[in-house]
Each structure stands twice: as C-alpha cells, then as structure tokens.
A and B are shown apart, each in its own frame.
Chain A
Amino acid sequence: QITLKESGPTLVKPTQTLTLTCTFSGFSLSTSGLGVGWIRQPPGKALEWLALIYWDDDRRYRPSLKSRLTITKDTSKNQVVLTMTNMDPVDTATYYCAHTLGIAAAFDYWGQGTLVTVSS
C-alpha cells in the first residue's frame, strides 16, 4: 500500500532555510504519470498548495512562493525534498506531502504531516 511520511526540523529561526523530506513507499516516482506534492496548513487555517514534482522531473510551484521554493526528487531513495528559504513566522504550519496519480489529478494519499514552527 502507498504510504508517505514527512520529516524535518520542528523549529526554525526566521531567515533560515527549511528542508523537509517526504519518504514514501508503495510506488516509484519513476513510473510515468505519478507525482508528489507539498501542501501546508497554518494552525486553524486552510490548506495551501505549495509545489509538485512529476515522474519526469517537471516541477510546479505556487506563484507567490516560487522564488523561495525548490522541490527535488531522489528516485533511488523514494524521497522528495522541499526547501523553503528565508523562513518567517507566517510560515509556521503543518506541512504535508501527498501522492498524485497523474498530471491534473487530485491528491489521493497523504502523509501525516509535520508541524514546523518559525520562531527566534
């Protein structure tokens, strides 16, 4: 079965760079059509789509955050990494990674999420 799990720091300081890793099983990101995305949710607020990487290394970013985000994949390790630069307290949120079955497809499997707090 498909599982995903996010890992990374729980606390980062303002201006630092956040690096989150999504480790997954049950599928290969070398399979045509598949993708893994990142979504975040500030405490008590709505979900926010951040980035998506496809099997062919095509990458998509939230326009308003594009300059701060980088998404990469390591197919051999079954991992997707999201980096976000210049972290600010408003970036405090639970960060989720999720699987998508194809181009223009919904997220059908989600990780449990990891809470990242930005504070000095």
Chain B
Amino acid sequence: DIQMTQSPSTLSASVGDRVTITCRASESISSWLAWYQQKPGKAPKLLIYKASSLESGVPSRFSGSGSGTEFTLTISSLQPDDFATYYCQHYNSFSGTFGQGTKVEIK
C-alpha cells in the first residue's frame, strides 16, 4: 500500500502568514493527490484535486503543487476561517489513502 506522510503535524501561524504543508508519498503517484480542509465536527471539504487544480468555490489563496512523491498545499495569506485540519489524499481507481493530517492553529 502507498503511504502518505504529512508534515508538520501541527503548525502555529498568525492571520496573514503564508503557510505551507507538505505531503510525501511512499512511491510515485503522478498527480493523483487531493487536499481537504476539515473543521471540528464537520465533514472534510475538497480544496485541491489532481495536485494543483482548485475546486470550484475555493478561495484563490489556496494552491497546490507537486508531482511524483512530494506535494505542497500553500495558503498565501492565512485568514481566520482557515484555522482547521488539512488532509492530503492519494486516490486512484482502486483505493485512496489519506495522510495523518496537519492542524493549523492560531499562534
């Protein structure tokens, strides 16, 4: 099974900061990667698919990059609504594997 490893596990940041979260795959997954945002007690929300495609309705301050085994989610200017946990997910026609999550906290 392909393993997905996110770093850091927790990130403390301030409003207006540029934030970067990394996701590494145990083997090449091309660009089959998604990013989700989850707030407490809520279902995850799709932000990015196919590594860098912005889901409709998602603010442009979110961006994704990478291919192969290393991927990043960047929030260009952190907003109060962005404090949440973020998950990467490798997906293909056979299965899907999530990372362990990165919690973005208020500094």
Contact = CB atoms under 8 A, between A and B. Distances in A.
Interface string A77-120: 00000000000000000001010000111111011110000000
Nearest to B46: A108
Contact of A105 (B43, B49, B99): B49
A46 B32 contact: no
Contacts of A39: 96, 98
By size class, the interface of chain B is 20 to 34
A26 interface: no
A63 B95 contact: yes
Contacts of B91: 104-106
Nearest to B49: A106
Interface residues of A, number: 23
A103 B96 CA distance: 11
Which of A37, A62, A104 has the most chain B CB atoms inside 10 A of its CB?
A104
Interface of A: 37, 39, 46-49, 52, 60-63, 96, 98, 103-108, 110-113
17 contacts: A46-B101, A47-B38, A47-B44, A47-B89, A47-B98, A49-B89, A49-B97, A60-B95, A63-B95, A103-B93, A104-B93, A105-B91, A106-B91, A107-B36, A107-B44, A111-B43, A112-B43
